[in-house]
């Protein structure tokens, strides 16, 4: 599991560890990890040029000590001090290693020897407020286009919420220490982190409220048939989606459900003949262990939702059915995109996109059930505040009908007996992994994602 801890949790863990180590040892560990990550990115050290943008915090110290290590490897290192205060020992270490330390002015717009090959962002630490000062913004403009490695998190982002408020660094690589932070996983800040590289510091950390499943976690959670299994013991999912106007929604929802993860799929709706033609294994009405309701349901979605709720089984509620939601049961999974969640919470869509973690958690608490907020990094929030972030997927997944496939897939997992929180997060992970496989770096359509789900399962590690 990739865990993302808060600043308070990290600082408490660091303080506990520092009591057992010589003074400065923890910063030296972090600086060494940062320096080696920079060398890996550069490919070579000798003769390369690196510029440090240094603020007053400890991450400025990390940058300075890393700069001293790089300078000893033959890198030409220059540090711009963007604050009246800087880590004194770090400044001395860089000078002793042959690095150059300057306080830039408006006239100082270039590093010694020309433009640097790489910039290390050590402007604002994890305890800083969102946004950047004028001096920092000017320094960043002067090296625009140069690859940036951020220390711990890109300066200017809100570390604990993943939100943005004002100017911030957009990094190509972020080297973080001890554990991931929320901003590394949750958009919009996560989009500013680039590739995240974790340096292990040996911290003892509590359980995190924000996590991202990894392949081993999915393999552990995913139900697999036992030797004596049959179609009913593996779970039966029912689909109440699509309509005469939107038969494609029925086909795609069923495609997500018929990926083989449960024992049987039933379809009830106006598109039954079309569904049977494409999916002959799908049967009609009968007992189910979970329902999927809403995608392409149009005006019938309200009635279909009422019928599904009457069965008293877990259900996935999507699209048109979300408009008729009042008090869903606790074993429901709601699967809105940003616009649908905005309508559910009576806020503007821009607010959802600016604060997705906040609003996903708010919706889960207010509705009393699991909420899956679709996006570049999909969020699955439990009413108690726990949240899993989906980091699989590809930009090509932003295509019509992909959400219908996801709803069917999550419904199939619900039918197998997974909890709503696990079904939603495992389903979202597999959906993204299948999209990556189907895309192979190029365009795809929603049905391609459904067809690739079995391959995504086959690619999981054995447990």
The per-residue pLDDT for range 321-330, each reduced to its tens digit, is 999 998 999 9
Helix (H, G, I), strand (E, B) or coil at 291: strand
Tokens of 155: 């300066």
Contact 244, 297 (CB under 8 A): no
The overall average pLDDT reported for the chain is 95
Helix (H, G, I), strand (E, B) or coil at 287: coil
Q: Determine the pLDDT at residue 114.
A: 75
Tokens of 79: 């540090």
Each residue's pLDDT tens digit, 201-210: 999 999 999 9
Mean pLDDT value across residues 117-130: 94
In angstroms, the Cα distances linking 288 to 184, 281, 439 are 39, 15, 33
Q: Which residues pair with 197 in a beta bridge?
A: 175
Q: Is the confidence at residue 107, as pLDDT, over 50?
A: no
Q: Is 319 left (phi over 0), alpha (psi -120 to 50) or beta?
A: left
Q: Which residues pair with 102 in a beta bridge?
A: 80
Nearest-angstrom CA–CA distance, 335 and 275: 23
Nearest-angstrom CA–CA distance, 305 and 302: 5
Count CB neighbours of 260 within 10 A. Answer: 13
Nearest-angstrom CA–CA distance, 47 and 159: 34
The two most distant CA atoms of the chain are separated, in Å, by 78
Find the radius of gyration of the CA atoms of the chain: 25
Each residue's pLDDT tens digit, 440-463: 999 999 999 999 999 999 999 987
133 vs 105, higher pLDDT:
133
Nearest-angstrom CA–CA distance, 431 and 88: 49
Q: Is the confidence at residue 113, as pLDDT, over 80?
A: no
Contact 450, 252 (CB under 8 A): yes
Mean pLDDT value across residues 368-374: 98
Burial status of residue 46 (CB atoms within 10 A of its CB: 0-12, 13-18, 19 or more): exposed
Provide the CA 365 distance to its chain's centre, in angstroms: 20
Nearest-angstrom CA–CA distance, 318 and 325: 10
Q: Determine the pLDDT at residue 105.
A: 67
Q: Is the confidence at residue 308, as pLDDT, over 80?
A: yes
Each residue's pLDDT tens digit, 64-97: 999 999 999 999 999 999 998 899 999 999 999 9
Domains belonging to the chain, first-starting first, are 2-211 (3.40.50.10260), 215-458 (3.40.1190.20)
Contact 296, 320 (CB under 8 A): yes
Q: Determine the pLDDT at residue 462.
A: 87
Contact 58, 90 (CB under 8 A): no
Mean pLDDT value across residues 232-251: 96
pLDDT above 70: percentage of residues in the chain: 98
Nearest-angstrom CA–CA distance, 394 and 443: 10
Tokens of 264: 């049987």
């Amino acid at each position: 599991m990739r865990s993302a801890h808060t600043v308070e949790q990290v600082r408490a863990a660091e303080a506990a560890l520092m009591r057992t180590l010589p003074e400065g040892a923890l910063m030296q560990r972090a600086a060494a990890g940062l320096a080696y990550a920079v060398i890996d990115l550069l490919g070579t050290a000798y003769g390369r040029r690196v510029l440090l943008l240094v603020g007053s915090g400890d991450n400025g110290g990390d940058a300075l000590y890393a700069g001293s290590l790089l300078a000893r490897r033959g890198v030409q290192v220059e540090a711009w001090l963007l604050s009246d205060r800087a880590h004194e020992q770090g400044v001395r270490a860089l000078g002793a290693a042959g690095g150059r330390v300057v306080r830039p002015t408006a006239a100082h717009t270039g590093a010694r020897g020309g433009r640097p090959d790489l910039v290390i962002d050590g402007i604002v630490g994890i305890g800083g407020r969102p946004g950047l000062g004028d001096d920092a913004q000017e320094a960043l403009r002067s090296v625009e286009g140069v690859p940036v490695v951020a220390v711990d998190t890109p300066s200017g982002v809100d570390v604990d919420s993943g939100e943005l408020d004002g100017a911030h660094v957009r990094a190509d690589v972020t080297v973080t220490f001890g554990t991931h932070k929320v901003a590394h996983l949750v958009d919009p800040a996560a989009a500013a982190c680039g590739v995240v590289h974790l340096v292990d510091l040996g911290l003892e950390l509590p359980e995190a409220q924000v996590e991202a499943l990894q392949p081993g976690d999915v393999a552990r959670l995913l139900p697999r048939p036992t030797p004596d299994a049959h179609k009913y013991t593996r779970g039966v999912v029912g689909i109440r989606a699509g309509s005469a106007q939107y038969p494609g929604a029925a086909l795609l929802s069923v495609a997500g459900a018929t990926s083989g993860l449960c024992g049987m799929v039933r379809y009830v709706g106006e598109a039954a003949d079309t569904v049977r033609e494409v999916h002959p294994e799908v049967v009609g009405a009968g007992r189910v262990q979970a329902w999927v309701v809403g995608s392409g349901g149009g005006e019938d979605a309200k009635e279909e939702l009422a019928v599904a709720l009457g069965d008293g089984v877990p259900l996935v509620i999507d699209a048109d059915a979300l408009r008729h939601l009042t008090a869903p049961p606790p074993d429901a999974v709601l699967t809105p995109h940003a616009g649908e969640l905005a309508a559910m919470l009576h806020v503007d869509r821009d607010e959802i996109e600016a604060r997705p973690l906040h609003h996903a958690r708010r919706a889960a608490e207010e509705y009393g059930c699991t909420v899956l907020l679709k996006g570049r990094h999909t969020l699955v929030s439990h009413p108690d505040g726990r949240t899993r972030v989906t980091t699989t997927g590809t930009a090509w997944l932003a295509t019509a009908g992909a959400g219908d496939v996801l709803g069917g897939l999550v419904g199939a997992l619900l039918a197998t007996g997974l909890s709503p929180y696990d079904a939603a997060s495992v389903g979202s992970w597999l959906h993204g992994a299948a999209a990556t496989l189907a895309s192979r770096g190029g365009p795809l359509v929603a049905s391609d994602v459904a067809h690739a789900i079995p391959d995504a399962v086959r690619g999981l590690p054995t447990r």
